[in-house]
Amino acid sequence: MPFRSGFVSIIGRPNAGKSTLLNALLGQKLAIVTHKPQTTRTRIHGVLEVPLKKKAKGEPGHPAAQVILVDTPGVHKPDTQLDRRMMQEVHDALESRDAVLFIVDVTHRLPQAEKPEKQGTLKSFTKNRVELSKAEDDFALSLIRKLECPVLLVLNKIDAIPKADLLPLIAHWSTLHTFADVIPISARKKENLELLLDKIVGQLPEGQRYFPKHQLTDQPERFLVAELIREKILMLTGEEVPYATAVVIEKFEEPEPELTITGKVKKRPAGAKLPVTKISAAIFCERTGQKAILIGKQGTMLKQIGSTARKDIESLLGTRVFLELFVKVQEEWRSSRGFVEDLDWRRQLEEIAARQLHEEKPE
């Protein structure tokens, strides 16, 4: 069977479980996950090698494939420049795709499930939420209706609802769009992921690898590190602080490999200390009050962010890590187009490359 390959974007509303699914399929944490909506700000490519599956009883099997999974920010109506940038990332991720996974959180109520409400009660709050939820669904659907590629409906979080609730959900969504397939899964519990993969490979065209076999992502480590720091901020701080925060890596010094006199990399004796990567990162927020929260009493919050992030960064890089964090105020940065564009890791990468070229040029 000829090899298959293709780009598959994962889209859905904030908090539907897109990043959890990406990580679960890859078997490695690439995208940060929190219970807070709008955690993902940029599109992330995860490269997944799927081995050949031979035909078996009742199983059609499939050829070996390389799937480039593209995680995207949650689909939402943009308010700030940052929101607009996030939605641009979604649009970019939908361009010339081979397939799209439209992921829906099954724990969200269906609009018609609402009973008539009494005014001023908790129900009116719920109704508002359901209406908001419907508006977001409509917005997300309007995006997928424009697509020419097959769209698979992925009903996520089935571990959190009774099985009997699934059928009405499938019926509801099937009236809204003609999906190429419907697959109920639990990204968190890794249920039905193999079936989902079979269906994804089934939609891919024949083709060669886009990325080398063992490359997991196109995103360089320094940007994964920035995301790990942002994840800890999302987890440890509340209210508007996580949303008003951006992390920029200012220094990323990898340890020089020790070379033998013939220029080969020296083997590290067993039990020897791991080398150190030195990292400095700036945490941007919008107001001095937020800066105070991020630093905490006598620096306790910043220390906690640093020490929890360091552990994750060490296991990502496989070295020890010396991590310095600074908090800086950049008023209203989310509404500054220039600042938001500078946060794009692809642009930062271009700037780093240009700087290095300049430094290497002989006078």
Ligand X SMILES: Nc1nc2c(ncn2[C@@H]2O[C@H](COP(=O)(O)OP(=O)(O)OP(=O)(O)O)[C@@H](O)[C@H]2O)c(=O)[nH]1
For the annotated binding site for GTP, the residues are 12-19, 71-75, 156-159
Interface with ligand X, residue 16, by CB under 6 A: yes
Which range touches ligand X (CB under 6 A), out of 11-19, 91-99, 147-155, 277-285?
11-19
Per-residue x/- mask for ligand X, residues 142 to 161, rule CB under 6 A? --------------xx-xx-
Instruction: Please say whether the beta carbons of 111 and 134 come within 8 A.
Output: yes
Interface with ligand X, residue 296, by CB under 6 A: no
Q: How far is the CB of 182 from ligand X (least distance, A)?
A: 16
Interface with ligand X, residue 241, by CB under 6 A: no
Which range touches ligand X (CB under 6 A), out of 7-15, 219-227, 248-256, 335-343?
7-15
C-alpha span between 36 and 5 (Å, rounded): 33
Q: How far is the CB of 173 from ligand X (least distance, A)?
A: 17
Query: Which residues 52-111 are close enough to bind ligand X by CB under 6 A?
Result: 73-74
Q: How far is the CB of 300 from ligand X (least distance, A)?
A: 25
Give 18 or 62: the residue with its C-beta nearer to ligand X. Answer: 18
Among 8, 26, 30, 33, binds ligand X (CB under 6 A): 33
Among 5, 9, 15, 66, binds ligand X (CB under 6 A): 15
Give 231 or 286: the residue with its C-beta nearer to ligand X. Answer: 231
Interface with ligand X, residue 319, by CB under 6 A: no
Query: Which residues 172-191 are close enough to bind ligand X by CB under 6 A?
Result: 186-188
Instruction: Please say whether the beta carbons of 48 and 209 come within 8 A.
Output: no
Q: Which residues are annotated as a binding site?
A: 12-19, 71-75, 156-159
Per-residue x/- mask for ligand X, residues 185 to 224, rule CB under 6 A? -xxx------------------------------------
Q: How far is the CB of 264 from ligand X (least distance, A)?
A: 43
Among 5, 6, 9, 19, binds ligand X (CB under 6 A): 19
Q: By CB under 6 A, how many residues form the interface with ligand X?
A: 24
SS (H, E, C) the chain: CCCEEEEEEEEECCCCCHHHHHHHHHCCCCCCCCCCCCCCCCCEEEEEEECCECCECCECCECCEEEEEEECCCCCCCCCHHHHHHHHHHHHHHCCCCEEEEEEECCCCCHHHCCCCCCCCHHHHHHHHHHHHHHHHHHHHHHHHCCCCCEEEEEECHHHCCHHHHHHHHHHHHHHCCCCEEEECECCCCECHHHHHHHHHHHCCECCCCCCCCCCECCCHHHHHHHHHHHHHHHHCCCCCHHHCEEEEEEEECCCCCECCCCCECCCCCCCCCCEEEEEEEEEECCHHHHHHHHCHHHHHHHHHHHHHHHHHHHHHCCEEEEEEEEEECCCHHHCHHHHHHHCHHHHHHHHHHHHHHHHCCC
Interaction site with ligand X (CB under 6 A): 12, 14-20, 33-35, 37-40, 73-74, 156-157, 159-160, 186-188
